[in-house]
Amino acid sequence: MIARTKSEALFARALACLPGGVNSPVRAFRAVGGTPFFVQQARGCRITDVDGNEYLDYVGTWGPAILGHAHPKIIAAVKAAAGQGTSFGIPNPHEVLMAERITRLVPSVQKVRLTNSGTEACMSAIRLARGFTKRDKIIKFAGCYHGHADSLLVKAGSGALTFGHPDSAGVPADFAKHTLVLPYNEIEPLQAAFAAHPRDIACIIVEPVAGNAGLFNPKPGWLEFLRQITATHGALLIFDEVMTGFRLAPGGAQERFGITPDLSTFGKIIGGGLPVGALGGRADVMDHLAPLGPVYQAGTLSGNPLAMVAGLANLDELAAGDYYAQLEARGAQLEAGLRAAAGSARVAVTFNRCGSMFCCYFTDQPVWNLDDALRADRERFKKFFHGMLAAGVYLAPSPFEAGFISTAHGEAEVEMTVKAAARVLKTRV
């Protein structure tokens, strides 16, 4: 086993001054046991910790690093922008370029508001949908994560799910009572909800591919159904593309599945690794935001020049090569390899994937929603996680997180991953 002396010492110090030793819960490794490593630097598809251990990384800072870590064009753009000042609190040209870029790549988006995180973007999109429709109720799906705003922390995914409190303490029941939580991929519960509250539902918010409870894909026709039932009832359809945006296609999941939502939220890739978020959509809806309209939304650092240039460099490079085909090919290679490895080790695995996002559930049943995901074997996942880590492959430290492939993952790296998985599945899981 590789030494982690420096990481362990840092974690001990962190525990004394940061709750749980971290600034975001999943990082604490509690779902898998053990203690986290501290990163010294990351380049391409590899991360090096403070003890000098190197890992092949399938987290990619949870999505932004689609070109791999420390892409030279992003680093150069951030350095150049920093030389001109780090924040102005008054308009800068990069915000306009970013908004123009998003509207060009995502045709459903006519206007954009930039924020500092995906959480802020989703929180603001919900407020906007409520202000626009003058309705209070919202629909979300169990296992979907839309950041940690009060009304969205109900049956939430990601860390909330990993640590067994998908319904957070500190959210008054009076706030959460307007949030209707339904199962992903089902139709009847939605029909029943709209029948029970025909004029009260402001919006449906959905991850078009659910990537915060592992990963499950939308069943064919389900997203179309969401589009149709919201239109029928005068509710808005919000696609939370914080994870899927600019990853599953240049125009995100909505391009891949051919759906036009009313509003969308973004983050991760459009910040190139700096803090960012955005909401956007129909101009008539977006114009309800302050200063034009009555729905308040603001941010001292929103449209921050460093975040804008980093995100623009990410999007520029993504447009410059045949990257989406490459990501698809690497995803297919990983899928085929892991399925074969699980088969020959006789370990029941359901491997879900969409493009460069994937998840390995230890179950012999298909996974289409949160209940299915919860039936997977978490003890086996722990063993798999630690076996892979010891083999130098870093997967997300929770059975309820997706994995991410970047353009820096070559055929050889994926092959190495598959070989490691074959060994770990046979001997440790």
Ligand X SMILES: *Cc1c(COP(=O)(O)O)cnc(C)c1O
Applying CB under 6 A, which residues contact ligand X? 117-119, 122, 145-147, 207, 211-212, 240, 242-243, 267, 277
Question: Using alpha carbons only, how large is the chain's radius of gyration in Å?
Answer: 21
Q: At its nearest, how many Å lie between ligand X and the CB of residue 208? A: 9
Q: At its nearest, how many Å lie between ligand X and the CB of residue 23? A: 11
Residue with tokens 């799906």: 141
Close Cβ partners of 237 (under 8 Å, ≥ 6 residues apart): 203, 204, 206, 226, 227, 230, 231, 259, 261, 262, 263
Q: At its nearest, how many Å lie between ligand X and the CB of residue 120? A: 7
Active site residue 58: no
My answer on whether omega of the bond before 19 falls inside 30° of 0, hence cis, is no
Report the alpha-carbon distance of residue 291 to residue 283 in Å, rounded: 14
Which lies closer to ligand X via its Cβ, residue 133 or residue 264?
264
Close Cβ partners of 40 (under 8 Å, ≥ 6 residues apart): 48, 49, 50, 52
Active site residue 55: no
Active site residue 145: yes
Which lies closer to ligand X via its Cβ, residue 277 or residue 387?
277
Q: At its nearest, how many Å lie between ligand X and the CB of residue 353? A: 16
Question: Which of these is catalytic: 57, 240, 262, 372?
Answer: 240
Question: Which of these is catalytic: 145, 184, 324, 361?
Answer: 145
Nearest residue by C-beta to ligand X? 118
Which lies closer to ligand X via its Cβ, residue 4 or residue 268?
268
Q: At its nearest, how many Å lie between ligand X and the CB of residue 144? A: 7
Which lies closer to ligand X via its Cβ, residue 49 or residue 240?
240
Report the alpha-carbon distance of residue 251 to residue 248 in Å, rounded: 8
Closest CA to 281 of 205, 354, 210: 205
Question: Which of these is catalytic: 111, 155, 268, 383?
Answer: 268
Close Cβ partners of 170 (under 8 Å, ≥ 6 residues apart): none
Which lies closer to ligand X via its Cβ, residue 44 or residue 157?
157
Report the alpha-carbon distance of residue 61 to residue 34 in Å, rounded: 20
Tell me which residues are annotated as active site.
145, 240, 268
